[in-house]
Each structure stands twice: as C-alpha cells, then as structure tokens.
Amino acid sequence: MRVSMPVIMLGLLLSKAGHAELPQLDSSEVATGQFEYRTILQVGDTRLDIDSVRHIRVENSASPRTLQIRTVTETDMGTTEDQLELDFATLMPIERVVRQDDGQMKIDYRPDQVTGYIRAAGQTAPVDLSLNYPAYAGEAGLETLLTAMPLASGLEFELRIVEIDVDSRVRRFRASVGDEETVEVPAGRFSAWPVHVSAADEFDDEQTIWISDAIPRVFVQATAPIPADLGDGAVTTILVKTSD
C-alpha cells in the first residue's frame, strides 16, 4: 500500500453489495513452517535489501485454536519482531505485538473495537478505534487470509483497511484476481494467482500479491510502485526459502 507503512493495518473484505462477505475460507490450506523473504526497495540507482523470516504455526492447545504468525526483520537499525495471533477457523485477529529495540506496540482485537498502545522514543500513544464491522489483520494477516481463499481468475471484491499510525483512517481498496501465472523467485518456480489491490479513495496506492495455487498455499511475491514524489521506484518482496 503506502510506502510509509502504517504501524498496523486491518483489512475488511466486502462484497460489491457493501456487506461483509468473504469467499469460503479454509485455513487448513495455509502453508505452515518457516519462510524467508527479501524486500527490495529500488529508487533510481539506489537499492536497499531487507531480509525477514516468517514463522507460521497452528496452536492446537489454545481455545479457540489459533494460527500464530511471527515475522522477524533485520535492518541496520536493529531487529523488529512482529507476532500476530489469528483465530484458526475465521482468521480474525486476536492480538498483535510488535517489538523493536526502541519501542513496542500491543494491539487487542474485538469485532467492534481495536485497543492497545504504541510506545516509542519514551512516549506512549493509546490506540482506541471503534469498528463498524469486524476487521481482518493486514500485512502478514492479509497475505495469510489470501492463502486461505479459493482464488480464481476474475474474482473481484472490495477491501476496507483501517490504518493506525499518527493519523487513523479507514481506507477503501478494490481487489481483483488475474489469470494464473508462473512466478520464479529464489525459492523456486510457482504457479500463482496475482491479486491486484488498488485504492478506491482519494489516494493512489496499489500493489499486487501473488499466492501459490498448489496446496498448501504460500505468499510468493508482492510488488508496489513508489510514487514519484517519494522517489519514483518500486518495493518488491520475494520468497527466498521455505522449510518445515
């Protein structure tokens, strides 16, 4: 979406009629294990590579059963650990905790409200957002949600995203699934569905996310343009390696 990534994004998928309705989800089709990614920020001749490792596992002892997604990102500025907990049956978010060397974010989710705090530079900002509809987690949560959907060419839906940062807002996006493609990344060659997501509000964000067709499904690649006023380039994330 935006290059200046919000602290947290919540996605709500809506039918064209405007009421909440997702294609039937099947969380058992989401690949579990360890997934190494590389994000490449390219602006002109300047390139920055950021490596991350995502761990996805099912917690069967929890009630309700949960899907645990832990993403660790290493940069010159330190390590960021992002822990997201989803309800396994519905993929609704339960809790998200992000830890950095100089701060922390903790978010608790309910169908009608998101609460928590963002702590950085010695200051703490509360998060308290009322929701008109239940919301799904974005970023890793959104990518995981797409892996549980029966994607097919021509499928279209609308995406409402609540961004919580310095300013909080509800964003609207349109999503459409293109024809199946062969995508080659360092982790191998995948038959994958491209899901194009573009802004349906006053902004002009857009990105494409590729989800593998083979079950269990995995998030393979994503790309988004960097606007001209921010340097005119692209942000691309690719799957580098998978392991159990």
Query: Residue 221 falls within a domain, yes or no?
Result: yes
Query: Residue 3 falls within a domain, yes or no?
Result: no
In this prediction, residue 244 carries a pLDDT of 84
The tens digit of pLDDT for each residue in 93-108 reads 899 999 998 899 998 9
pLDDT-based confidence at residue 137 (cuts at 50, 70, 90): confident
Domains held by the chain: number: 1
Query: Residue 68 falls within a domain, yes or no?
Result: yes
Which domain, by its residues, includes 87? 8-243
Query: Residue 108 falls within a domain, yes or no?
Result: yes
Query: Residue 202 falls within a domain, yes or no?
Result: yes
What is the overall mean pLDDT for the chain? Answer: 86
Burial class (CB in 10 A: 0-12, 13-18, 19+), 31: middle
Pick the closest to residue 86 from 144, 40, 155 (CA basis).
Answer: 144
By residue count, the chain amounts to 244
The tens digit of pLDDT for each residue in 178-205 reads 999 999 999 999 999 999 988 888 888 8
Burial profile 58-92: b = 16 or more Cβ within 10 angstroms, e = fewer? eeeeeeeebbbbbbebeeeeeebebbbbbbbeebb
Residue in this structure with the two tokens 């360890």, named with its chain if needed: 34
The tens digit of pLDDT for each residue in 29-83 reads 999 999 999 999 999 889 999 999 999 999 999 888 999 999 999 888 889 999 9
The model scores a pTM over 0.75 = yes
166 or 185, which is more confident: 185
In this prediction, residue 59 carries a pLDDT of 95
Query: Residue 34 falls within a domain, yes or no?
Result: yes
Query: Residue 111 falls within a domain, yes or no?
Result: yes
In this prediction, residue 6 carries a pLDDT of 43
Query: Residue 166 falls within a domain, yes or no?
Result: yes
